[in-house]
Structure 1
Amino acid sequence: MKGKKEMLQELLWLYRKQIVFMCVVVTLAGILGACAVLKGRASDVQQGIAGEILRFHVIANSDSEEDQARKLMVRDEVVEYMKTLLDGAEDIEETKRRIEEHVEDIEYTAEQALKKAGGEDSIHTELTECYFPRKSYGDCTFPAGRYQALRVCIGKAEGKNWWCVLFPNLCFIDSIHAVVPDKQKQQLENVLTEEEYESLFDWKRSDFRIGWGIFQ
């Protein structure tokens, strides 16, 4: 039979083991709770940003060299048309209203640009809400989530897309921007909360990584 000393040592060992287990459980619960809070905050930030911006996508028929080149020609013509159409639009609601009233004209502009580029595919244009992955452009990153967007779909729309932000106006034609210009940053700052705006440029130290840019 075990002596009292041995039995006491076993009881102490089991007691310590239980304490360690409980400490691990409490620590894990705390970590999971903190993660849930951060995730909730990140979701709130994304939804806040999504409610104040309108994205613009031109989706190529395929990833062939010809289809990608035609996509860019369609982009050029439509962006030029949108500059005039949206000139003076003061908020996202007015921007959407103007687009909805001229969606057929936008589609016609895209069709003419595609024909000029030698393409014969059909084009479908719509103002809709879609899920988009996290994307970056220069020093600015938008988080993954659902966003309102004007989409110009060429043919089967199975190719890589070009995209920008229509409101506020962040549509640069060229895709090489290391830093978003100060004028465009000011436009973003005017429509977002301080937390939402700062999260665009603080993604290296947080989960609020917001993406926008050109996905070629």
Structure 2
Amino acid sequence: MKVRVFTALILVLIGGLLFTLTGKAGLKRIESEVAFTAGNLVRLHVMANSDGPEDQRVKLSVRNRILEETEELLAVNTKEEAMVILADHRDYLAHTAENELRKQGFNYSVAVEMGEFEFPERSYEFGVLPAGSYQALRVILGEGKGRNWWCVLFPPVCHLSFEEKTEVSAEKLRLRWKALENLQAEQGALMEKAWSEWAKLFQLATIVIR
């Protein structure tokens, strides 16, 4: 009887240890997946004054300046932190966009808004974002009736995709998401192996108890 109780206690302890180790891995995997869901994204939306070639060109120039000024977002870990930074710098970003317009010889207005806006379906390096409502920073140039420019501001997909060395930044982006996928796969394999060993040990201990 004592042998059975002792063996059962060992099983419980080992099982608890395995659950703790693999459970943490599973939790990290879940956290990684959740960190990149649509609900945790902040998007950037730049609306050109018109579809005219000059308005479209200056739209990209303004985009460049906005991305340069929001590079601080690369250092944050949550959507909430990103939103705080954007809120704190909204007037500054509007002033930056306006200065770029004036520098390029354009006199129309700039409006910078923050909120929840409708977006169409878009494809990115990490996958497809479905159409729907997203938290975003919206920059409206003039009448805002021209073709738009969309990107993901947080996580910082825009910044990585937009570097002047396009091939290098695209490779960085692919490597970052590949690393995330590999980490998730490794954690999943660890959990499967741990529970497989636990099952074998449980079967062996059950025989001993009998």
TM-score, normalising length: structure 2: 0.61
Residue 165, structure 1, aligned to residue 152, structure 2: yes
User: Counterpart in 2 of 1:77?
Assistant: 65
- Tell me which amino acid in the other structure corresponds to 2:162: I
User: Counterpart in 1 of 2:85?
Assistant: 98
Shift in CA distance, 69/79, structure 1 to aligned 2, threshold 3 Å: same
Distance (Å, rounded) in 1 between the aligned partners of 2:179 and 2:112 = 30
| Alignment RMSD (CA, Å) | 2.8
Structure 2 residue aligned with 1:122, among 109, 132, 144?
109
TM-score, normalising length: structure 1: 0.59
Distance (Å, rounded) in 2 between the aligned partners of 1:100 and 1:150 = 9
Residue 132, structure 1, aligned to residue 119, structure 2: yes
User: Counterpart in 1 of 2:142?
Assistant: 155
- Tell me which amino acid in the other structure corresponds to 2:66: V
Using CA pairs under 8 Å that are at least 6 residues apart, name the structure with larger relative contact order, 1 or 2: 2
**Structure 1: gaps (5+ residues):** 1-47, 191-216
Could you list the per-position Cα deviations for residues 27-70 of structure 1 after superposition, in whole angstroms to 9, with x for gaps in the alignment?
Answer: xxxxxxxxxxxxxxxxxxxxx93311000011100000010001
Q: Where do 4+ consecutive residues of structure 1 move more than 6 Å?
A: 174-179, 187-190
Give aligned pairs, total.
143
- Tell me which amino acid in the other structure corresponds to 2:175: D
Shift in CA distance, 122/184, structure 1 to aligned 2, threshold 3 Å: farther
| 1:168–1:188 Cα contact (<8 Å) kept | no
Q: How does 1:21-36 map to 2 (within 5 A)?
A: none
User: Counterpart in 1 of 2:176?
Assistant: 183
| 2:119–2:131 Cα contact (<8 Å) kept | yes
Distance (Å, rounded) in 2 between the aligned partners of 1:113 and 1:189 = 41
Residue 137 of structure 1, CA deviation: 2.9
User: Counterpart in 2 of 1:58?
Assistant: 46
Q: Determine helix, strand or coil for the equivalent of 2:145.
A: coil
Shift in CA distance, 119/63, structure 1 to aligned 2, threshold 3 Å: same
User: Counterpart in 1 of 2:9?
Assistant: none
Residue 139 of structure 1, CA deviation: 6.2
| 1:170–1:184 Cα contact (<8 Å) kept | no
**Structure 2: gaps (5+ residues):** 1-35, 184-210
